[in-house]
Amino acid sequence: MRDQFDIVIIGSGAGGAPVAYVHARRKDRSVLVLEKGPLLRTQDEQDGGNLSDFKRDEMFNAGAERIINVPGMTNSGHPFFASHIEPDLNDEPHIFSDLAGNGPRVTIEGYTAQVVGGGTQLYGGVSLRFAETDFSLATFNATRTVPLKGDPTRDALRHVIDWPIAYKNFIPYYEKAERLVGINGTSSGQAKSQNFPFTTPDQYQVPRAPNPISLYAEAGMKACGFDTYRTPLAVITDHHAPSGRKAGDPLVGYVNRYGDPLGYKSSTWVSLLRPTIRKGHDLEVRPNCTVTHLVSNGRKVTEVHYRDESGRERIVRGTYVVVACSAIESVRLMMLSAEHDRTGFGKAIRFEESGSHLGRYFLTHAFGGAEVAIKRHRFDKSISLDSDFATDACAQPAFLDEHGLWAGGAIYNNTSDQCLPITLARTDGSTDLDTFWAGFSGDMAKRGDGIIDWLNKDFGTRLSVSFMANQVPRYDNRIELHPTLDKWGRKSAHIIKDWHPHDGAVMSTLAAVCEDILLAGVPGATRDDISEGSVYGNAVRVANHILGGMRFGETEAESVLDTDCRVWGFENLYVTDGAFMPTSGGGNPTLTIQANAFRVADLIP
Amino acid sequence: MVARRIDKEDQYVLNLCTKYLARINTDERHSAYGVDAATPRARISESWRFPVVDSHDGNEPDAYEWNDVTFVWHIADLSAPPQSVLLLSTCHRLHEPLPLVRIGDTAYFALTVKLPKATRYRYLFIVDGKLTADPINPQTQTFANGETWSSFFTSAYNQPISFERWEFAILDRLTRHILPFNSTEAQNYLGREGGGGNVGHLYRLDISVGVANFIDKVVAREERHRLYAYKTCLEMLDTILRRRETRAPPEAMEESLFVELYDDMASGASALFEHGWDRSRYSDPADFLKLLRRHAMTGAFAHPKYGGNPGGMAWAYLSEHFTGDNGKTAFDWQRAQEKPLGTSVEYRG
């Protein structure tokens, strides 16, 4: 088995695959991708077979009950429900505590997916660019005189730094990602295009007709005076030449939390890795291989240690090593490597050193929204993708000034949510991924006629509008190691985080906007009909947007990575998942992670 | 029955194995409620997945009627792997064991065979000449002679495994009361528009039977840790019902008795404990009702291969009941599902 490559990449999702794509296509360049999860195939790629390993099956989304059985956790004995490509929490727990000391508890929040393609196999595909101000929130706020809501001690912005790269220099990588990944949407109406116009034509494929229920959201956005656009989604609607995929009928509702058996969803496997391998480039993907630690000599990472599919210890070497296991797991890998060699790797990455930023400023998004049941109308929401219409109105400086917010975010409607019966029941009243079924199971009035009444009210009628906004970075929000050992005898990741009160202000403001959109867009709806809310107060929620922990910056004094996303202290170690972000951006992060990975790929010699 | 061997890519087998079997940590974290305590499977993840029952991937006209079943032997000590692993099973001629083949130099021997859906078999492995039950798969059958064989069932199996007839009867009555198909509105609707009452009759009859069958299977495999709850609580419920109504067995009792039972369990009514619910055996009747509600909803609306929702009947109920603004159904489930269950021209299941 080969054990020497030009580049070894750990993780095959949004952060890893773009680097593999670029480098494997360079002349005489060898690339290895190590992936913890399996390689699951689409229908057209099985060797002589007809079927995919992904299914349109609600039991694949979150099937049988499992029981948390990790000693010392506050929720030991509680059930959890995970998809077939999320980890067994008893084998590899993510452990969560809040800043008030509540916990520790095991959570399914904060995992993406363990499979070739990573989180891009399960995500809804929302592929928004960040706004220009998202890259420079320190500078943007430095000159403002508007007091921030929910920030009486004026400490909200204490840990905010600008991204150390210019937005205009990043735009070509957004375009590259949009072209190569395969995204449908529209650019007209995106406020981000005011200063940085999209190419003509833009890189998007033409979206399919929206689900009719989404037209209420569009009408509401317009009635509020907002420009709208079709939400960019990583699903192909037409033949996609870069990846050699043919279009079909992607509108089936089995989108969010489902792998796509037909490969229309643009996971990094079908869009970047598979076509590179098919073209004969020197790219090897080793699935079912878990990297345990990195070994260094001076400023160079010399060995990548991993467990193969049988659990045997293996070593592979790369001239360059790229870590992209999703932010929590990437931070954990660095810390495990540091514990393995405190004076070498540990010192080089400043593990547990005073003033070190390793693991700090862990981020997700401030998110939430509003929801209404549309009376006297019903729609087949199972003929849909994840979202149809979006607006950038709440990321504009005038809006932020008016409401006293440090940063804004995107708003879009959800289309496929709760379109299938089991999902409707298991998410009924649940507050996060850890509380699936808790609402429905205990709502004893939902029986017989009670269920009919509930379905009459909610099935095919519910329209939700969500926001995804920047979270305030805090030094105390962090990833550490927890002594609980995983199935390989390695310490687990411990996520310690909470919201800043200003996050609460951001969320309540944007949730109110979502409510206004529904009020304006749905005829006859009153505020009493609309429920609005956010994740403020529920710190464990991360929406699988796992960001920060190794932010990039201009100096080692303020960051873990340099502007090229290379780890300070190492010559050949890069990080390309969401860990690099110093602020979380006003939209779903995947496209930005992909674009940044393309950028970093160009910077790796 | 003569199983036909199916060739699978090595990657297919490894994808099924690594997550669940490969590890060095020997903590017993996979023995939910102690159900597998002190056994090897307490240390591995989701042992119930083995042997792996998957859709049959073939071009035959009747391919949909079959499963591909993959048996796995995990080599515990790679320094001393067995020379041969054979499958002795009622799914093949018992005098003609089938060899499992080692996947390269990995820790796994595997064999995939094509078997009909809705069947159940038992098997043993012969490892270097020695007969043994499967140390991974927790499903077993023990016979009068004391022999214990491993067992498994294929998709949509509908014969009882976990429950006795009387237990099915109570399950059936309770789940009917939870689900919408027996509601006044559903019956009125189905009687009026569902084919003169015939379709309505089918919904009422078959969906509840399907749900009880789903529960019978899920506590035999994925959620074995819940079997105790059912066994214990159904026995107590039987006692309570017979104390409350002495003239008829539970399957023939008036609907009102099950309504009362449901309400008492939901509220924890003192009458329930006076009539036979023993807190020392299962503390909170509402917890059991929550479990039953989750399983009822899942069993009704999960893919038919899990044993409930026969022919997609519960989906069809939603499809008929809910009409969209365009006059068509508001739940066209068939367009996304594989033929012959659904009508998708792309997705093959």
Q: pLDDT tens-digit profile of A435-472? A: 899 999 999 999 998 999 999 999 999 999 999 999 99
The whole-number pLDDT of residue A399 equals 97
- Give me the residue from A310, A378, A440 closest to B22, CB to CB: A310
- Give me the residue from B14, B315, B322 closest to A460, CB to CB: B322
In this prediction, residues B57-85 reach a mean pLDDT of 96
Q: pLDDT tens-digit profile of B136-179? A: 999 999 999 999 999 999 999 999 999 999 999 999 999 988 99
B121 close to B115: Cβ distance less than 8 angstroms: yes
- Give me the residue from B14, B262, B328 closest to A288, CB to CB: B14
Give the residue on A whose Cα is nearest the Cα of B35. A67
User: Would residue B160 be called left, alpha or beta, if left means φ above 0 and alpha means ψ between -120 and 50 degrees?
Assistant: beta
- Give me the residue from A52, A311, A448 closest to B107, CB to CB: A311
Residue B203 has pLDDT above 70, yes or no: no
Give the residue on A whose Cα is nearest the Cα of B221. A64
What amino acid is encoded at A550 in this protein?
M
The whole-number pLDDT of residue A542 equals 84
Which site among B7, B9, B17, B29 would you substitute to test the A interface, given the most A Cβ atoms closer than 10 Å to its Cβ?
B29
Q: Is the peptide bond before A104 cis (omega within 30 degrees of 0)?
A: yes
Give the residue on B whose Cα is nearest the Cα of A309. B18
Chain A to chain B Cβ contacts (< 8 Å):
223
A412 close to A227: Cβ distance less than 8 angstroms: no
3-state secondary structure of B248: coil
CB neighbour list of residue B340: distance below 8 Å, 6 or more residues apart: B64
Separation in Å, CA B315 to CA A11, A421, B181, B227, B285: 38, 8, 11, 27, 30
Residues of chain B with CATH 2.60.40.10: 4-153
- Give me the residue from B33, B297, B328 closest to A67, CB to CB: B33
Q: Spell out where B47-190 has E strands.
A: 52-55, 66-74, 85-89, 98-102, 108-116, 120-127, 130-132, 140-142, 148-153
The whole-number pLDDT of residue B189 equals 57
Q: pLDDT tens-digit profile of B127-138? A: 999 999 999 999
User: Would residue A225 be called left, alpha or beta, if left means φ above 0 and alpha means ψ between -120 and 50 degrees?
Assistant: left
DSSP state of A199: P
Confidence of residue A48 (pLDDT cuts 50, 70, 90): low
B39 close to B139: Cβ distance less than 8 angstroms: no
Q: Which residues partner with A567 through β-bridges?
A: A561
- Cβ separation of A310 and B106 shorter than 8 Å? yes
Place of tokens 């509105």: B185
- The distance of B147 to chain A (nearest Cα, Å) reads 30
Give the residue on A whose Cα is nearest the Cα of B28. A69
Distance CA A34, CA A287 (A): 6
In this prediction, residues A403-410 reach a mean pLDDT of 98
- The distance of A499 to chain B (nearest Cα, Å) reads 32
- Cβ separation of B15 and A383 shorter than 8 Å? no
Distance CA A477, CA B303 (A): 42
- Cβ separation of A378 and B289 shorter than 8 Å? no
Question: Which DSSP helix (H) or strand (E) runs through A509?
Answer: helix A501-521
Could you tell me which residue, A539 or B47, shows the higher pLDDT? B47
Residues of chain B contacting residue A63, judged by C-beta atoms under 8 Å apart: 222
- Cβ separation of A452 and B303 shorter than 8 Å? no
Instruction: Tell me the longest C-alpha to C-alpha distance in chain A.
Output: 70
DSSP A448-490: THHHHHHHHHHTTTEEEEEEEEEPPP-TTSEEEEEEEE-TTSP
Q: Which of A477, A487, A502, A258 is nearest to A357 (CA)?
A: A477
SS3 readout for A327-393:
HHHHHHHHHHHHHHCHHHHHHHCCCCCCCCCCCECCECEEEEEEEEECCCCCCCCCCCCCCCEEECH
- The distance of B145 to chain A (nearest Cα, Å) reads 34
The whole-number pLDDT of residue B31 equals 95
What angle, rounded to 10 degrees, do the helices at B255-267 and B227-244 form?
A: 120
Residues of chain A contacting residue B294, judged by C-beta atoms under 8 Å apart: 65, 426, 437, 440-441
CATH 1.10.40.30 fits B4-153, yes or no: no
- Cβ separation of A288 and B30 shorter than 8 Å? no
Distance CA A504, CA A471 (A): 10
- Cβ separation of B324 and A378 shorter than 8 Å? yes
What amino acid is encoded at A417 in this protein?
D
Which site among B207, B224, B293, B315 would you substitute to test the A interface, given the most A Cβ atoms closer than 10 Å to its Cβ?
B293
CB neighbour list of residue A381: distance below 8 Å, 6 or more residues apart: A211, A213, A253, A415, A416, A417, A418, A419, A460, B330
DSSP state of A96: E
Give the residue on A whose Cα is nearest the Cα of B287. A442
- Give me the residue from B185, B223, B297 closest to A449, CB to CB: B185
The whole-number pLDDT of residue B194 equals 47
The whole-number pLDDT of residue B190 equals 56
In this prediction, residues B20-24 reach a mean pLDDT of 97
Residue B338 has pLDDT above 60, yes or no: yes
Q: What percent of chain A has pLDDT over 90?
A: 93
Q: pLDDT tens-digit profile of A287-330? A: 999 999 999 999 999 999 999 999 999 999 999 999 999 999 99
Q: pLDDT tens-digit profile of A154-163? A: 899 999 999 9
- The distance of B21 to chain A (nearest Cα, Å) reads 8
Q: Is the peptide bond before A201 cis (omega within 30 degrees of 0)?
A: yes
A378 close to B322: Cβ distance less than 8 angstroms: yes
Distance CA A280, CA A134 (A): 39
The whole-number pLDDT of residue B326 equals 87
Backbone angles phi, psi at A314, to 5 degrees: -130, 155
- Cβ separation of A452 and B186 shorter than 8 Å? yes
Residues of chain A contacting residue B226, judged by C-beta atoms under 8 Å apart: 65
Backbone angles phi, psi at A136, to 5 degrees: -145, 50
Backbone angles phi, psi at A48, to 5 degrees: 75, 5
The whole-number pLDDT of residue B198 equals 47
Distance CA A163, CA B184 (A): 61
- Cβ separation of B179 and A90 shorter than 8 Å? no
| Domains with residue ranges and CATH for chain A | 4-46+60-419+460-603 (3.50.50.60)
Distance CA A278, CA A243 (A): 10
A283 close to A31: Cβ distance less than 8 angstroms: yes
Residues of chain B contacting residue A76, judged by C-beta atoms under 8 Å apart: none
Number of Cβ within a 10 Å radius of residue B319: 18
- The distance of A103 to chain B (nearest Cα, Å) reads 19
